[in-house]
Structure 1
Amino acid sequence: MESLAFKAIKWLGPLAIVWGLTYPLTKLIAESVSPIVITWVRIGIAAVFFLILSNFKFSIGKKQFINAIFNTILFMLFLNVGTSISSNPGLAAVMIYTQPLFVVIIEKILGTNISMRALSGVILGFVGIALSITSVSLDLGVIIALIGGIVWAIGTVYYSRNLAKENIIKLNAFMNIVAFPFTLVLTPVNYYFTVSLSIIGLLILLGILAQAVGYYLWFNAIRDLGSIRASTGSLVVPVAAYILTFVILRIAPTPLEILGSIITLIGIYITISYRKI
């Protein structure tokens, strides 16, 4: 039987790399493509990806539709729009990753017994991410991104409680098919698209990595680790984003970002290494 630590490494390790790449890739693409277009391209590629893997079979139902609304449509829109209109996309990204805190709050409201160790690990992880951000101002984009974190938390808990036993590939096929037309109709909002082979290639790569592979890893992590551990483990994504952003864009992390990343990793370890949530 696989240990809890092995499951965490198995799903969250690759997830950190895949979703960590999302930030520098999106930054490169956003210079030529509007956020709404990036959103529906990602969703459309994921829909095709999961349709092929599922042999054109779906996991269909009311619960699956609700899951698609929170985990794909609303989350993706808040993520991309919030990050794009914020004066500080880094702070907007941090607000998205307040999700573990809201997962703990929601689970507590729903009656889950939350240990002090698990709670302290989540809080420590968020403090680490908060320290990574230097002097910034609060704006509409940051607020939208914070709402995105709440929406993601709701979707995570809903999936964990209602659909964790569903076929992940068939569920993702349905989610992305449902989400595609909703995001497509928003294309005229702040539309711009400078066509080039390199941009099209990056868009396809982003869709495959972030939406197809990333979501497959994410839902497997929730299934095997539970909503709280998986959500806390997702905090490693900003850490990976710092490293990958430096590798790709040569933007070096500040001392506070390095310190915050170390604190975040400690918080993640405290939570996912404890067997009793």
Structure 2
Amino acid sequence: MVTLNRSYLYLIVLVMVWGSAFPVIKIALDYLSPFLIALVRVTVGGTLLLLVSRKLIYGKKEAISAVLNVGLFMILLNLGVEYSSNPGLTSTMIYTQPVFVTVLSRFVLRERLIPLQILGVVLAFSGVLISVGSTDFSIGSIIAILGGLTWAVGTIYHRLYLSDRDVVGLNTFMSLFSALLILPLSFVDSKFSLDPVGWGSTLLLAVTAQATGFLLWFKSVNMLGPVKASSAVLLVPVSSYLFSALLLRTAPTLLEGLGSSITLLGVFLTFLRPGTLRRSR
């Protein structure tokens, strides 16, 4: 019971940490470029993970995974927040990732889908259209959805080639390797300020969302299993909306709230696997 309570405590903190990251990114973007924020986040976060894990799992396949799951994903996430009216909406679009994983698994991994998963895909994309319809399908929403797709491709790649690797050592390498990808891009956007708010927000992201967040995630997965942990993490967009309201005084529109709810319901349904309902009876 103590272990179970602790695992849910880890998840609660994780949802708060990852949910608050989106409005914190929005704050940091007033002072620094999205590329520089990503660079500091992966470099500092990766270094902290290295101090904890004391190992690097590296290689060509690991480098490809780093580009997909961390480097490119982090850039798209920050750009999505920058060009979106509400960080909570960006979070919802990013968390369409399980929907893309479900679709890709059908065609790449030849996994069979149950009717509820197909319904989940339809609901998720319907919710996306409702959510972004209220903002005329802004470029930020498009970028965030691309971030979810990139994350999904990276997830499938990881499942195919890296599922046997030590996850902490692998993520340590992926964070640090991604810095090599992001570094030259950080010179593209010249936005730079010495204001402590910008740098404080960015360092907070590195410590909490990048380092602490991933450690909490791994602990939650080990204690509860990937399905339960992943389902609970769907509360991150809800947390993001709440923190956006607190930190930025930004409330979702009626359509954003309705569409995001439908999207998250659809995403939840995609977590179901053949036989899940039979086992639960």
Match of 2:198 in 1: 199
TM-score by length of 2: 0.80
Whether the aligned pair in 2 keeps the contact of 1:232 and 1:271 (CA below 8 Å) is no
Alignment partners' CA distance in 2, 1:112 and 1:229: 20
Aligned pairs for 1:93-108 (under 5 A) are: 93-108=91-106
Cα distance in 2 between the residues matched to 1:135 and 1:259:
11
Worse-matched range after superposition: 89-98 or 157-166: 89-98
Q: CA 1:86 to 1:256, structure 2 compared with 1: closer, same or farther past 3 Å?
A: closer
In the TM superposition, what whole-angstrom CA distance separates every residue of 1:163-193 from its partner, at most 9, and x where no partner exists? 2332222111111121112111112212212
Aligned residues: 274
Distance (whole Å) between structure 2 residues aligned to residue 101 and residue 265 of structure 1: 10
Give 1:159 shift.
Answer: 2.0
In the TM superposition, residue 15 of structure 1 has moved relative to its aligned partner by 3.3
Q: Within 2, Cα distance between the matches of 1:87 and 1:197?
A: 24
1:89 Cα deviation from its structure 2 partner? 6.2
- Maintained 8 Å contact 1:96/1:149: yes
TM alignment of 1:3-42, pairs within 5 A: 9=8, 13-42=12-41
Question: Alpha carbons of 1:267 and 1:8: their partners in 2 closer, same or farther (altered >3 Å)?
Answer: farther
Provide Cα deviations, 1:222-265, integer angstroms capped at 9, x if missing partner.
77655x87666544322111111112222233334444454455
1:174-225 CA-to-partner distances (Å, cap 9, x unmatched) read: 1112111211111221221221333322211111122222334456667765
After superposition, residues 1-277 of structure 1 pair within 5 angstroms as 9=8, 13-55=12-54, 57-85=55-83, 92-109=90-107, 110-128=109-127, 130-133=129-132, 135-218=134-217, 225-226=225-226, 234-264=233-263, 266-267=265-266, 270=269, 272=271, 276=276
RMSD: 3.5
Distance 1:165 1:220 in 2: 17
Consecutive unaligned residues of structure 2, counting only runs of 5 or more, are none
Question: Which residue identity lines up with residue 158 of structure 1 in the other structure?
Answer: Y
Going from structure 1 to structure 2, the CA distance change for 1:211 and 1:164 (only over 3 Å counts) comes to same
Measured in 2, the distance between the counterparts of 1:12 and 1:273 equals 20
Alpha-carbon distance between aligned partners in 2 of 1:217 and 1:8, rounded to the nearest angstrom = 9
1:28-56 CA-to-partner distances (Å, cap 9, x unmatched) read 1111111111110111111111110122x
Q: Report SS of the residue matched to 2:185.
A: coil
Q: Contact 2:22/2:87 (CA < 8 Å) preserved in 1?
A: no
> Judging changes above 3 Å, is the alpha-carbon distance between structure 1 residues 10 and 67 closer, same or farther for their aligned structure 2 residues?
farther
Q: How many angstroms apart in 2 are the aligned matches of 1:75 and 1:272?
A: 21
Q: Give how far 1:147 is off.
A: 2.3
Q: Is the 8 A contact 2:100 2:149 kept in 1?
A: yes
Quick one: which amino acid aligns to residue 77 of structure 1? Answer: I
SS in structure 1 of the partner of residue 276 of structure 2: coil
- TM-score, normalised via structure 1 length: 0.81
Partner AA of 2:98 in structure 1: P
Cα 1:74–1:7 shift into 2, 3 Å: farther
Quick one: percent identity of the two aligned structures? Answer: 37
